[in-house]
Structure 1
Amino acid sequence: MKGKSGETAVTPRTVFQVNGVWIAHAHSICAGSAFFVALLVGCYLHFHKIVQNEYFGYPQEWFPSVSATIGDRYPERSFYQLLIALTAGPRFLLLLFTYILTAREGAKAPLWLVLVGVIRTFTCGGWTYVTSTDDHDWHDIFMISYMVLTIPWTALRIALTPAGKALQWRKWTATAFFTTIAPLIYFFIQHKVKRVPGAYTIYAFLEWALIVFDIAFDAGAMYDFEGLQLNVVDTTGKLRNSSVGFLKESTQTTPEDKRIPSVASFVVSTINYFLYWSVLTSLGLVIWYFPLWYMGISGYEALLLSIVATFLLVIPPFRRLLVALPQIAWLGNALGIAAGYVLAPSDRVLVVGAGAAFGAISFAIQTYSAAHRPAGFSAANGAAFVLGLLLSAVAKMYLWTNNPIWPIMNENNGGFVRVGVTVAIFAALFTNVGEPTPSTAVKANRESSILSGLGLGAVVFIFQTYFSDGSTLPLWVWEGYPVRGPTPLPHGLVTIAVVALGLYAGLAYRNILSTKYLLFAHLATAVLCLFKHWFGYAGGLVLGAYTGAVAPSLLEAAGRHTPWRSFGIGMLVVVLFMLAETWTVAYAFVPGGPALRERTWAVMVAHQVCLTAGVINAKRVRLDTATRAAGRGLAKVLRLTMAGITIVLALGSLVTYQRLQHVVPAPVHPEEKLLTAGIWTIHFGLDNDMWAAEVRMRDLIRDAELDVIGLLESDTQRTIGGHRDITQRIAEELGFYADYGPGPNKHTWGAALLSRFPILNSTHHLMPSPVGELAPAIHATLDVYGTPVDIVVFHSGQEEDVEDRRLQTLGVSTIMRNAVNPTILLSYLVTKPHEGNYNTYVSEFSGMHDIDPSDDWDRWCEYILYKGIKRTGYARISRSTITDTELQVGKFVVGEPPSYENARIEESAVPVGRQFPQMFRGDGVRGHRYHVFDEPRYFA
């Protein structure tokens, strides 16, 4: 075809094409990353400097303001300025498209809107590139101008937005923005005028909230621009050979493609759920700190109810806001991690409670939104939920059963709180908007929201109780040496792998909800409850695989209902189960406790009944497979899940391998054939300021040169203990064999044994306790330089139960009487020297002798007794702030005749290898020193 000039006419050809929604997304990503990359870099490089203000610094102030983050220091300032410059392109395109959408003949408001938008953009550049350190006055002028121009920009944009999702979005984000200004001003005055410590940190959070709401307001353009398209058209034929094709028309996003979850959204959801599990599993742990000190109900237990904040979703405006802006709730969940910056335990637990409340709400709205979208989204949500749990288990494995972002962790004990907060903020901001679309929803039909809630609560509780830490199941079935079953390492990784494979099976084979599998899961739970060693462990693995398999379906079933109903009931069920699990062991300290005394089996029956209710209620999801996109969506979720499982297991394998390279146990002074033994009541591994104490404990045990130590109040493998194992880190880093003692299903407060000598045999005992708390004991035989030596670790019951303690005294004394080897008792006896039950422990009947029966007037709880072995020394080392009880240490020599004479000798007469460390004399180190008699005692 030729034109009038004889030249061949060229048909215009589109060579590049992008949907308008990507302009909105590009603007949000560039603007958001500018601020939060700067926050990440700043916190990592200059945390203490950017939280410092003119009056206070860390720890009173522990979160930086926006201006300190983006303007004060290199390189975070450069990151911010570079990324905010990249925002200019999508920003001006956003203004252009806004004008195209709103322009009407004769209407001046759209022109004013764009004019205000352009000027506002230049004022943003002003306070971006003229920092407060460059010129404080001009920085403030640009900033104030920007804030003032925000008013007409917001008002005009809302006025020109037609009814629909975009209008609703803008109203909510604008309301959030302007509502935040009032408390922002209040806390600025509290800081600037009244100089209140910590006020600037709250001001900083509100300042960052304004940034989030500001960016979110403009992100509403994603609804406006869906029908707009930016095309690059070749009208001359010059680009006929162009290979540009990554956004050509043939690959444009279509409504069908929106039925498929994206890789990015799946990754972000998994990270969010990792953070959710991290906060949830820390809640009971930080609450437990308080009744420990009150020795009874403290009042802080009420914070368990924070997770039933899902009932607040009954308020329609609140629910609509959080469904439209899930980023808000996920940012709230980050409070549970940021709590690690709060020093006072009473304040920290409140912040964790707030984070857990937002976490429960986030869980509810994300599942609700996913269940009301095509099937692939709900499957992806369920998979992310389980993978987040397994990631948290791997993180705990990395740090010897402590989650590095828990609020009991800090820089001194291995915590990554700063990293956790940063990741939480980014994950929250990049959370996809899960707007429910009823036209594609699977209806709840005759399903019951109550039964859905019961099933949901059972899934969350089972995951938290048995599978939030890989070492829990092995310790449930542990019965001592010789090893006859799984051990925390490497079998913790096996537990994680089985749950992961169960998840995949549940997604791939949807008939997993059939009755035969449910009955098999019940049988497996009974096996876990009734049997030990490998058989009991196998039952636990089957329960884990089944729970992983049904979790996505039960989550979806709960999501098909109004979230306040199913999730409110579900979280209430979780609270009741947490209390019931605690009551089984804490029955002596709580009202109505005897009803659940030692009845873990009843709790297990109850959670299986609730699980059954959820499974029967959840009809098979009728997947929409009529479209190719739906089928692709489910197939993609399976691929993403397998990729996630592979990453989780790869990380777990690396951690397992690294931890298996631990120190080989060896005694400290083999040349003297010395056995140095200690007893310590460790108060569940939380120090007096509510920080994890394992590192400080490790250092004291190392410096005291202990070969054997009994740890009491050491069972932390339940919800209130965080499902931890205090022995692991100490044993691996110092070189000890570890016997965890009676497991969490034995209903004791715990007794553990660490030994540098091989443990030939160990037997766990529960002493008679008809009324009060159970008294655990370990009777172990060690190979000490070729000589068998018996060690008994024992924790007596509480003072009030006189008959219990009499029976327990007789039981332990009988064990020691029957011991044919040299024997050492490391114990907590609750008696005064030479009075009452002491005269049964130390008697001809037991054959035991007190390590120092003279004038050690301060003893009440901890005692070291011995027979058939030579005692050479005794010392008491103060605890500092690690716990509420000191460390008592005795030195014994193998191969020399035992001596029961109490004549003391001077240290100068003792061989150097048999002396106690000098570092604890005088003021000692790290708050540890010899006390009561201010020096060690030595015996001939």
Structure 2
Amino acid sequence: MAPKYKDGEVVATLNGKWISWTHTVVAYAAFLGALIVGMYLHYHKIVQNEFYGYPQEWFPSVSSTIGDRYPERSVFMVFIAITSGPRFALVALWYVLTKKPNSSLPKFVAGVGIFRTLTCGGWTYVTSTDDHGWHDIFMISYLVATLPWTLGCLALSPRNPTALKYRKIFAASFFATLVPLIYFFIQHKVHRVAGAYTTYAFFEWSLVLLDVAFDAVTAIEFANFEIVVKDLRGITRGAGNQTVSDAVLEKQKDKEVGAVFASGFSWSGLVDAAADVYNGFAFWSMLTSLGLLVWYFPLWHMGLSGYEVMVMCTVSPFLLGIKSIRFLVVRQIRICHLLSLSGFLSFLAKSPENRLFSAGFGVWMACLSWAATFYAERSQPHRLEARISAFSLGLIASSIAKFANQTNNPVWPIMHGPNGGWNKLGLALAFLAVLRSTRSTASTGADIPAPGHNKGSPTLAGLGLAGLLFAMHTLLSDSSTMILWVWEGYPIRGPMAVPHGAWTLLAMGLGLIIGLFSPNLARGWAFFGMGSIGAAILTTSSHWFGYYGALALAVYVMAAAPPFISNAARHSPVQTFGVGFFVYNFMVLAHVWTVAYAFVPGGPIMREHTDYVMTAMMLLIGCGVFSATAQTSSPTIQKYKGKPNPAARKQRSYYLYVLLGLELIAIAVAYLRFPSYNYTPYHPETQSISAGIWTVHFSLDNDMWSSEHRMRDVIKELEIDVMGLLESDTQRIIMGNRDTTQFLAEDLGMYVDFGPGPNKHTWGAALLSKFPIVNSTHHLLPSPVGELAPAIHATLDCYGKFVDVFVFHSGQEEDPEDRRLQSEYLAKLMKETPRPAILLSYLVTKPGEGNYNTYVGEKSGMRDIDPSDWDRWCEYILYKGLRRAGYARVSRSTITDTEIQVGKFVVGEPEGSNDIIHEDQVNPGLRFPALFRGEGVRGHAYHVFDEPRYYA
């Protein structure tokens, strides 16, 4: 008969530690069992990857081991299925162990634990072969959930020194292993280093072992449980179960970091914070779109159009100098924010002019509303901090939205349904966010002053705000901007937009945390010095060293936001926000003039002087430091009537939760967007290269819509292997801080070289290639008078043979001496290469005249793809050392103002003659697509010759 114990009969008992041990043993059996079976049965197959096999690669990765081969896949699945029972029991027991009255953290951690278990089943039973998309979704969800699970377990860990020590060791080792894991994966995938995947595999297996080991530590605490279930020591009622987080909070209850998470959790508070942040996201979405809309008009007018005055829409805070208007705006702040949503509505306008005016009004109202909000909340520092947090997090959210959508913000007015816009959803969420986040302010209209005495110059505070806003907009509104500042081509020697854009976003989040928790540090001169050094390194250096400066600058700028805006709100909004936005506008113009000097009065002063702009930006921020340091320290989370302010502490925690969520999204996006680098040309059986040149007019079509999707379609349908893009640098405020090449490269499956970066003062040249780019060099050709002429000299691995490709944009027609010098420079460059070569160019010359004879002939060694084509002025394709097989000219439709020219070449065959042959005599794999004959498709058709030309 089973024994009786107190109030019930005990049928059986099981010590809780065996749940942990069972989970650990069976989980290890799943992975190690599959490894042993796989290495015994299919060793050479599972160490093989897309580039190398045995002996260069000699140890298999986790994914190849547990993948599709029988029976190792079955071994893994069986044991993982058995693991699920102990796993759910482990999560349940951990919740019972750590639950406390008035605390939602244990419930949250338990929910994350269940979610991880389910997603583990997802990527286990849906392999990449079954459904690559869902496999990745389950896998990234599992990995992202690992962070809150690990941190939550550490925070809730009972005060057991042994268990805590092992948890810290395993958690630190797990996250430290991610760094070399990513490094060696990039070495394998991007640089194709032999043996790198084997090293990567060891780190990948280490992650698996550490992940399971972290949960195995629960055996120490679960030894206090008997499963019937009976609580033998009363630990579920809180007795004897003081957690590490409790101990820390007892010691630091009066310190800011400890106090933030001391209060209970409320979903309503989190929703309020999320709504507030989305309101900030709406502001940055509208502000970052304004310059892009303005740019459309001088772009199509080829000079000043008059619409440039709309950049001054941001100076609306000057209206707050009128007392009656200030009171009205503060009292009706919700209506003002709702009116600003005309910027979201502007995508409905058909004409570019109306779209600009609607967006401009939205920016006008948004700047007015946010300035009034900051000013109205100044009397209650914790409420002001919430608005500043929302404003700053809105920038991070906007940058993440662009990171997830290949640098286009899906709610911009240049976006709509056909090109991937989410405008209607964005508008609906913005409307709800405004209603939720603008219910009241600390001031109902009266000028309630901030606590304490106001010190420091309001004008200096406004100048500091100008530098801060400009830095946030020009450098941080897109995660890839500063990466492209330090990009110098292949081989890759620095960061890439994906995945390292997530590093920029993490640095921004770290900076904001410093600004909130250590405002005295953030406003101080020492931290300003760090930011200045970062700015100098970014401006003067390339590759990883330059990017480290960029990260330091990102941390500083985001850290400066809370003390700068808080200090500005203490003074007259005219002298701070009005002056700030006004000077910010001139900074925007100045950074445009560094490249657009030929089109504006006084432009030569700023010609190629990004260093002037960066210096001015840091000097303006320094003005803000002068003003902020003069102000007596006034922490935003402070004591109220001598006692801690619990509402302020709780409020801050919600914004940090939102920040954590945003950063997890950034990490997930980096994982999902990491390129496959599994690219093949369209017709490898013919050993051919289909090469094209296109001037894409900064990816804005004739009707002011973003044109990447339309460009993608025609490039794919023309089956172009190598594409040169001109007028492609869109990484400036006036162009939206975008990068068209990211979308095209990822969607078309091509390698990409962005070309000279945005700090090189050109209109851009880019290269897309189905063939690996072995090496690329960026050139700025002689331009003593006119605009700089960019060129890319890339060496491609085409079917095992090296072929050089040049992408080049010549100077303007008005500067003949520039164009002569450029022709001589490029001709010398092409002549010196001993390899077969193709030039994809914009030359600004007539066939057979002037500089044409420098580009074509003995000076360059290059031949014209069709000397008989007299109807050319801009675009030319030249070649040497390859057999020219075909040539076509394709109409642009309404995407840009320049046609597409395409040439087909065969690698390894002599150049051939200029004799034109009939299509019937051409190998089908060398023919141009029939889709573009006659009327063509979507406005694209063969023109000039009305059909492609083929050559013997």
Give the TM-score of the pair, scaled to structure 1: 0.71
Instruction: Return the alpha-carbon distance in structure 2 between the equivalents of residues 875 and 913 of structure 1.
Output: 15
The alignment status of 1:796 with 2:810, answered yes or no, reads: yes
Q: Which residue of 2 aligns with 1:860?
A: 873
Q: Which residue of 2 aligns with 1:507?
A: 516
Instruction: Return the alpha-carbon distance in structure 2 between the equivalents of residues 813 and 726 of structure 1.
Output: 29
Deviation at 1:645, TM superposition (A): 1.5
Cα distance 1:278–1:628, how it changes in 2: closer, same or farther (>3 A)? farther
The alignment status of 1:889 with 2:896, answered yes or no, reads: no
2:872 counterpart letter in structure 1: R
The alignment status of 1:321 with 2:328, answered yes or no, reads: yes
Instruction: Return the alpha-carbon distance in structure 2 between the equivalents of residues 297 and 334 of structure 1.
Output: 28
Instruction: Return the alpha-carbon distance in structure 2 between the equivalents of residues 440 and 718 of structure 1.
Output: 39
Q: Which residue of 1 aligns with 2:592?
A: 582
Does structure 2 retain, via aligned residues, the 8 Å contact 1:309–1:357? yes
Q: Which residue of 1 aligns with 2:933?
A: 921
Instruction: Return the alpha-carbon distance in structure 1 between the equivalents of residues 676 and 346 of structure 2.
Output: 32
Cα distance 1:629–1:839, how it changes in 2: closer, same or farther (>3 A)? farther
After alignment, is 451-460 or 907-916 more displaced? 451-460
The alignment status of 1:551 with 2:551, answered yes or no, reads: no
The alignment status of 1:694 with 2:700, answered yes or no, reads: no
Q: Deviations over 1:444-476 (max 9, x none)?
A: 623222111111111111011111111111101
Q: Which residue of 1 aligns with 2:288?
A: 281
Q: Which residue of 1 aligns with 2:479?
A: 470
Deviation at 1:440, TM superposition (A): 6.9
Q: Which residue of 2 aligns with 1:228?
A: none
Does structure 2 retain, via aligned residues, the 8 Å contact 1:379–1:637? no
Q: How does 1:292-331 map to 2 (within 5 A)?
A: 292-331=299-338
Q: Which residue of 2 aligns with 1:912?
A: 924
Deviation at 1:318, TM superposition (A): 1.8
Cα distance 1:835–1:479, how it changes in 2: closer, same or farther (>3 A)? same
Does structure 1 retain, via aligned residues, the 8 Å contact 2:500–2:670? no
Instruction: Return the alpha-carbon distance in structure 1 between the equivalents of residues 378 and 546 of structure 2.
Output: 36
Of 358, 362, 376, the match for 1:355: 362
Give the TM-score of the pair, scaled to structure 2: 0.70
The alignment status of 1:674 with 2:688, answered yes or no, reads: yes
Cα distance 1:789–1:883, how it changes in 2: closer, same or farther (>3 A)? same
Deviation at 1:735, TM superposition (A): 0.6
Does structure 1 retain, via aligned residues, the 8 Å contact 2:401–2:409? yes
Deviation at 1:317, TM superposition (A): 2.1
Does structure 1 retain, via aligned residues, the 8 Å contact 2:845–2:852? yes
Q: Which residue of 2 aligns with 1:934?
A: 946
Q: Deviations over 1:344-380 (max 9, x none)?
A: 001111111111101111120111122222x211221
Q: Which residue of 1 aligns with 2:93?
A: none
The alignment status of 1:809 with 2:815, answered yes or no, reads: no
Cα distance 1:428–1:626, how it changes in 2: closer, same or farther (>3 A)? closer
Instruction: Return the alpha-carbon distance in structure 2 between the equivalents of residues 661 and 823 of structure 1.
Output: 27
Cα distance 1:667–1:629, how it changes in 2: closer, same or farther (>3 A)? farther
Q: Which residue of 2 aligns with 1:870?
A: 883
Instruction: Return the alpha-carbon distance in structure 2 between the equivalents of residues 670 and 821 of structure 1.
Output: 20
1:466 counterpart letter in structure 2: L
Q: Deviations over 1:175-198 (max 9, x none)?
A: xxxxxxxxxxxxxxxxxxxxxxxx
The alignment status of 1:824 with 2:834, answered yes or no, reads: no
Does structure 2 retain, via aligned residues, the 8 Å contact 1:663–1:733? no
Corresponding residue SS for 1:928: coil
Cα distance 1:264–1:797, how it changes in 2: closer, same or farther (>3 A)? same
Instruction: Return the alpha-carbon distance in structure 1 between the equivalents of residues 599 and 315 of structure 2.
Output: 25
Corresponding residue SS for 1:588: helix
Q: Which residue of 2 aligns with 1:461?
A: 470
Q: Which residue of 2 aligns with 1:526?
A: 536
1:720 counterpart letter in structure 2: I
After alignment, is 432-441 or 545-554 more displaced? 432-441
Q: Deviations over 1:661-689 (max 9, x none)?
A: 65721110000001000000000000000
Q: Which residue of 2 aligns with 1:419?
A: 425
Does structure 2 retain, via aligned residues, the 8 Å contact 1:325–1:433? no
Structural RMSD (CA): 1.6
Instruction: Return the alpha-carbon distance in structure 2 between the equivalents of residues 805 and 663 of structure 1.
Output: 37
Instruction: Return the alpha-carbon distance in structure 2 between the equivalents of residues 552 and 564 of structure 1.
Output: 19
Deviation at 1:305, TM superposition (A): 0.5
Q: Which residue of 1 aligns with 2:373?
A: 366
Does structure 1 retain, via aligned residues, the 8 Å contact 2:403–2:479? yes
Q: Which residue of 2 aligns with 1:227?
A: none
Instruction: Return the alpha-carbon distance in structure 2 between the equivalents of residues 775 and 663 of structure 1.
Output: 30
Q: Deviations over 1:618-656 (max 9, x none)?
A: 125323424466543443344223212211012112222
Q: How does 1:57-68 map to 2 (within 5 A)?
A: none
Instruction: Return the alpha-carbon distance in structure 1 between the equivalents of residues 306 and 908 of structure 2.
Output: 54
Cα distance 1:444–1:933, how it changes in 2: closer, same or farther (>3 A)? farther
Of 415, 418, 424, the match for 1:409: 415
Does structure 2 retain, via aligned residues, the 8 Å contact 1:444–1:557? no
The alignment status of 1:485 with 2:494, answered yes or no, reads: yes
Corresponding residue SS for 2:421: coil
Q: Which residue of 2 aligns with 1:452?
A: 461
Does structure 2 retain, via aligned residues, the 8 Å contact 1:921–1:930? yes
Q: Deviations over 1:36-60 (max 9, x none)?
A: xxxxxxxxxxxxxxxxxxxxxxxxx
Does structure 2 retain, via aligned residues, the 8 Å contact 1:265–1:432? no
Cα distance 1:283–1:750, how it changes in 2: closer, same or farther (>3 A)? same
2:836 counterpart letter in structure 1: P
Does structure 2 retain, via aligned residues, the 8 Å contact 1:663–1:734? no
Q: Deviations over 1:496-534 (max 9, x none)?
A: 110101101111112222211111111111111111011
Instruction: Return the alpha-carbon distance in structure 2 between the equivalents of residues 873 and 664 of structure 1.
Output: 27
1:538 counterpart letter in structure 2: Y
Instruction: Return the alpha-carbon distance in structure 2 between the equivalents of residues 493 and 635 of structure 1.
Output: 28
2:470 counterpart letter in structure 1: F
Q: Deviations over 1:684-716 (max 9, x none)?
A: 000000000000000000000000000000000
Q: Which residue of 1 aligns with 2:754?
A: 740
Q: Which residue of 2 aligns with 1:253?
A: none
Cα distance 1:597–1:880, how it changes in 2: closer, same or farther (>3 A)? same
Instruction: Return the alpha-carbon distance in structure 2 between the equivalents of residues 462 and 523 of structure 1.
Output: 15
> Identity over the aligned pairs, expressed in percent?
51
Does structure 1 retain, via aligned residues, the 8 Å contact 2:294–2:310? yes
1:621 counterpart letter in structure 2: S
1:657 counterpart letter in structure 2: Y
Does structure 2 retain, via aligned residues, the 8 Å contact 1:710–1:752? yes
Does structure 1 retain, via aligned residues, the 8 Å contact 2:274–2:655? no
1:339 counterpart letter in structure 2: S
Of 569, 575, 578, the match for 1:565: 575
Corresponding residue SS for 1:356: helix
After alignment, is 770-779 or 378-387 more displaced? 378-387
Instruction: Return the alpha-carbon distance in structure 1 between the equivalents of residues 642 and 550 of structure 2.
Output: 39
Q: Which residue of 2 aligns with 1:85?
A: none
Q: Which residue of 2 aligns with 1:190?
A: none
Q: Deviations over 1:739-762 (max 9, x none)?
A: 000000000000000000000000
Deviation at 1:268, TM superposition (A): 2.2
Q: Which runs of 5+ in 2 are unaligned?
A: 1-262
Instruction: Return the alpha-carbon distance in structure 2 between the equivalents of residues 629 and 349 of structure 1.
Output: 51
Instruction: Return the alpha-carbon distance in structure 1 between the equivalents of residues 448 and 741 of structure 2.
Output: 54
Of 725, 729, 737, the match for 2:739: 725
Q: How does 1:328-339 map to 2 (within 5 A)?
A: 328-339=335-346
Instruction: Return the alpha-carbon distance in structure 2 between the equivalents of residues 630 and 928 of structure 1.
Output: 68
Corresponding residue SS for 1:412: helix
The alignment status of 1:635 with 2:649, answered yes or no, reads: yes
The alignment status of 1:665 with 2:679, answered yes or no, reads: yes
Q: Which residue of 1 aligns with 2:256?
A: none
Deviation at 1:263, TM superposition (A): 4.0
Corresponding residue SS for 2:876: strand
Q: How does 1:63-82 map to 2 (within 5 A)?
A: none
